[in-house]
Structure 1
Amino acid sequence: MEFIEKGPGFKSGLKDLPRHINSQTISSGLVSTIFGCTGPALVVMSAAQTVGFTIEETVTWIFSIYFFGGLLGMIMALYYKMPISGAFTIAGATLLGSALAGYTFQEAVGAFLISGIIVLVIGMTGLMGKIMKWLPVEIVMAMVGGCMLKFGINIATYTSKDFAVCGVTVLAFLLVPRVIKKFPGVLAALIVGVIAAAATGEFSGTTGAMTYVAPSLVMPAFNAKLILSCSIPLALLIVGAENAQAMGVLKAQGYNVPANAMTVVSGIGGIVSAFFGSHSAHIAGPMTAICASEDSGPKEGRYVASFINGLTFAAFGLVASYAVGFINLIPVGLTYVLAGLAMINVLIQSFRDAFVSGKFRTGSFFALVVGASGISVFSIGAAFWALIVGVVVSLICDQKDFKAHEQEAHQA
């Protein structure tokens, strides 16, 4: 496939790997792992809990997003010798808390599979530019912000109900990183919250409940309504937000970005991982940003940070059952607060991307409020309707922005 960009190759990546393993690449790789394995994992578990998935279904979901996402990052980092990290869409996971309500896990897997196929088709046909022409990133991110807003609201809701546990958790999130520089706020909140829950006797079980549960292969079932409300928004988030963010970060750092390959492997990763319950396994924006930063050392060796991130992600996926078992001991309110804290940066980023350009403002606003409403029409969730309403309103009210967007696409 000629349109897939060539890289230095695995042999070169493996040969130079030992030379670039140092405190900087190890530190960045582990920081990105800590970020990805704390708050984002809680978001997925919260979504699974919300829609009533069993522990076995939740375990295989957690396994697949981390194992295959990590494997994807290791492969891309080694082949291209660039800090390209793999993971899953955190924003997409938040959408599933409402989109999957009332559907079976098998139907969810069917929707995830279709999402992966859509991403693969976009990558293999070069449809990315055409899709973004008609569906601007501002409207996509406004939809994301609206659908995720409830996670932020949960911080206030559950803190007011249980300040002894949730209140000190929020304080730890705010204060610890100011005292201990570079200490992840979500990790501080998790540690302090667990200690507070234990001290107040709010744990809902014993550590004996933490047993190994093997991930399982899941055969998909297909539901047209769920495909509309889940598959399409997920695919658009992957190509229009996650991949685009990662590509932008790499370009800003001076790398020759393999855009086609990043989109194609994101589709393949989504398809393969879907059979184990993953909603996505693709190139990840936040983890790529951490590993591509100057903190990772000289430019030519930063790919090792993504390799380390991928390796530790895959390892975390293999022990997913213990992670799920531990989280299930935590009070529900604390879980929601931790998930909300983990989503703060994603929410801020969503609102900024939706409105900072000043384009598509009216359509973005309607996408935001429809997404936040949580409505379901014809059993199709709010994420889909937020996109539809946002585009229709922008076609009416933001016509100049659409024309300018089309011209920019032609110039690009």
Structure 2
Amino acid sequence: MKHIEKGVSLRHAPRDFLRDLNVDNASTGLVAGILGLSVGVVHISAGTAAGLDSSFIMIWVISYLMINGLFGIFMPAYYRLPMPMANSIPGALMFAAVIPVVGLEAALGATLIAGAISLVAGLSGVMGIVMRLMPMPIVMGMVAGMLLSFGLNMVRPLENAIVPATVMILAFFLSARLLRKVPPLIVSMLAGIGYLMATGVDLSGIEATIRFPEFIMPQFTLNAFLAYGLPLAIILVGMETPAGVGLIKGMGYKEVPANAITAVGGFGTMVSAFFNLHSTCIAAPMTGICSSPEAGTHEKRWVAAVVAGAIFVVAAPFYGYVVSLLEATPRYFIAIIAGLALMRVITSAMAIAFSGRKHEMGALFAFLIAASGIQILDIGATFWALVLGVVVSMIFETKDFEFASNAHPLKKQPAD
């Protein structure tokens, strides 16, 4: 445990939460929570496409919210950092695809092993070393590329839904300029809701159901581990943690517990394996929202992550109702809110990546690869953005690495 970074404390977390809670971090946490809830639709789509039973799909999503919500309350409360927890979307797509091939219990057994690998990577201190050695411009290039789709999805409704998109975006910028004490995200959401109510949203299909996570015993097969478990471990260690850590550092936080994030994610993934869930990890897009300037001052942004985690836990048993509500809301609504929340994160990441000082070509490749969304060997783009970004930088920008400068002999010092 010596490599796990020490946090603040859980003893006074409730008191400090109430002390630091304000309109800025509460509203930002609400936006992050809503974004996280909407991700459940990805699970439902992936599971349905793979032919999975609808009852299992709902339990899968409920476990995603309940388990990751609990970890998402613990981590930011202990470290006082904006570190919301969720699950790996690439992992979810692989999980849904592999179940018909190897079976649910075997897939969960592979999940358990992947979690153990991530736990060991965190406990051994490997993740902290990797993050210290990884050039920050390349990490930020990856982050900017990963979040670019949120910015694009924010402006795309201007083509087919120009009136509501214009109303929501203008409400954000005008309130930011004129209503200094009211979070612009809340104004934009209210403007969007007002438009939907004025135009008549059909809520007749909304149904309320209550369910909770269910226990299941995993099984272990080599085939499932090679087909799914090993790629999942690579994603958790090589993609999810660097993305989350990079986002937090990009927002001005100097000390980020990379080892703890990896270890806790690994432990959470092992717990998840017994409840029909494929992973637990830091949630990169939600982290971008909770760590953004919209969440207020640095020392109080952790509250936004706790709010998001609490929303997960409360909403989990009623997710059938939440899905019906989200389906009744036009897609542009969440897309615009998420894009507005992440704008300053995207600009900050791009400013660090393309400052023109070091690793500019590596950062560019990392940005392009992450933005492309390509998958190589069934591993997502953000992992390859880091790997290939470093490779390109090592070839064309060798002098930008510290080891290269250290390899040169010291210049002869002038005599006194």
TM-score normalised by structure 1 residue count: 0.71
AA in 2 matched with 1:38: I
Following TM superposition, by how much is the alpha carbon of 1:362 offset from its aligned partner in structure 2, in angstroms? 0.6
Aligned match of 2:131: 132
Q: How far apart in 1 are the matches of 2:281 and 2:194?
A: 33
The aligned length equals 388
Following TM superposition, by how much is the alpha carbon of 1:329 offset from its aligned partner in structure 2, in angstroms? 0.7
3-state SS of 2:97 partner = coil
Q: How far apart in 1 are the matches of 2:302 and 2:367?
A: 36
Rate the CA distance shift 1:331–1:251 in 2: closer, same or farther, 3 A.
Answer: closer
Corresponding residue to 2:30 among 6, 31, 34: 34
Percent identity for Structure 1 against Structure 2: 29
Q: How far apart in 2 are the matches of 1:5 and 1:159?
A: 45
Unmatched segments (≥5 aa) in structure 1: 297-301, 408-412
Aligned match of 1:103: 97
Matched ranges for 1:335-354 at <5 A: 335-354=334-353
Unmatched segments (≥5 aa) in structure 2: 407-416
Tell me, yes or no, if the aligned pair for 2:68 and 2:86 is still in contact at 8 Å.
Answer: no
Q: Please say if 1:88 is aligned against 2:85.
A: yes
Q: Please say if 1:280 is aligned against 2:280.
A: yes
Following TM superposition, by how much is the alpha carbon of 1:279 offset from its aligned partner in structure 2, in angstroms? 4.6
Tell me, yes or no, if the aligned pair for 1:170 and 1:189 is still in contact at 8 Å.
Answer: yes
Q: How far apart in 1 are the matches of 2:306 and 2:337?
A: 28
Q: Please say if 1:193 is aligned against 2:192.
A: yes
Rg: which structure is higher? 2
Rate the CA distance shift 1:185–1:369 in 2: closer, same or farther, 3 A.
Answer: same
Aligned match of 2:241: 239
Rate the CA distance shift 1:129–1:336 in 2: closer, same or farther, 3 A.
Answer: closer
Once the two structures are superposed, residues 260-319 of structure 1 have per-residue CA deviations (whole angstroms, 9 ceiling, x without a partner) of 5454323323432465536534498564788994775xxxxx998876775455324444
Following TM superposition, by how much is the alpha carbon of 1:125 offset from its aligned partner in structure 2, in angstroms? 0.8
Rate the CA distance shift 1:379–1:337 in 2: closer, same or farther, 3 A.
Answer: same
3-state SS of 1:271 partner = helix
Once the two structures are superposed, residues 318-349 of structure 1 have per-residue CA deviations (whole angstroms, 9 ceiling, x without a partner) of 44433332111112343433343343244234
Q: How far apart in 1 are the matches of 2:91 and 2:197?
A: 30
Q: Please say if 1:67 is aligned against 2:66.
A: yes
Q: How far apart in 2 are the matches of 1:114 and 1:357?
A: 42
Q: How far apart in 1 are the matches of 2:299 and 2:141?
A: 31
Rate the CA distance shift 1:161–1:21 in 2: closer, same or farther, 3 A.
Answer: closer
Aligned match of 2:207: 209
Rate the CA distance shift 1:210–1:379 in 2: closer, same or farther, 3 A.
Answer: same
Rate the CA distance shift 1:193–1:277 in 2: closer, same or farther, 3 A.
Answer: farther
Q: How far apart in 2 are the matches of 1:193 and 1:312?
A: 21
Q: How far apart in 2 are the matches of 1:260 and 1:147?
A: 22
Tell me, yes or no, if the aligned pair for 1:165 and 1:196 is still in contact at 8 Å.
Answer: yes
Once the two structures are superposed, residues 159-213 of structure 1 have per-residue CA deviations (whole angstroms, 9 ceiling, x without a partner) of 211112222222223233444435443443333223323433464x525335445
Once the two structures are superposed, residues 14-40 of structure 1 have per-residue CA deviations (whole angstroms, 9 ceiling, x without a partner) of 6x855x575544657634532421345
Tell me, yes or no, if the aligned pair for 1:59 and 1:324 is still in contact at 8 Å.
Answer: no
Q: How far apart in 2 are the matches of 1:262 and 1:189?
A: 32
Following TM superposition, by how much is the alpha carbon of 1:127 offset from its aligned partner in structure 2, in angstroms? 0.7
Aligned match of 1:176: 175
AA in 2 matched with 1:242: G
Q: How far apart in 1 are the matches of 2:386 and 2:110?
A: 18
Tell me, yes or no, if the aligned pair for 1:265 and 1:282 is still in contact at 8 Å.
Answer: no
Following TM superposition, by how much is the alpha carbon of 1:396 offset from its aligned partner in structure 2, in angstroms? 0.4
Q: How far apart in 1 are the matches of 2:157 and 2:303?
A: 40
Aligned match of 2:265: 266
AA in 2 matched with 1:396: I
Stretch of structure 1 that moved more, 323-332 or 20-29: 20-29
Matched ranges for 1:321-336 at <5 A: 321-336=320-335
Tell me, yes or no, if the aligned pair for 1:5 and 1:258 is still in contact at 8 Å.
Answer: yes
Rate the CA distance shift 1:316–1:258 in 2: closer, same or farther, 3 A.
Answer: same
Q: How far apart in 2 are the matches of 1:248 and 1:372?
A: 18
Q: How far apart in 2 are the matches of 1:102 and 1:310?
A: 24
Rate the CA distance shift 1:200–1:251 in 2: closer, same or farther, 3 A.
Answer: closer
Tell me, yes or no, if the aligned pair for 1:147 and 1:383 is still in contact at 8 Å.
Answer: yes
Q: CA RMSD in A?
A: 4.6
Q: How far apart in 1 are the matches of 2:250 and 2:165?
A: 36
Rate the CA distance shift 1:165–1:332 in 2: closer, same or farther, 3 A.
Answer: same
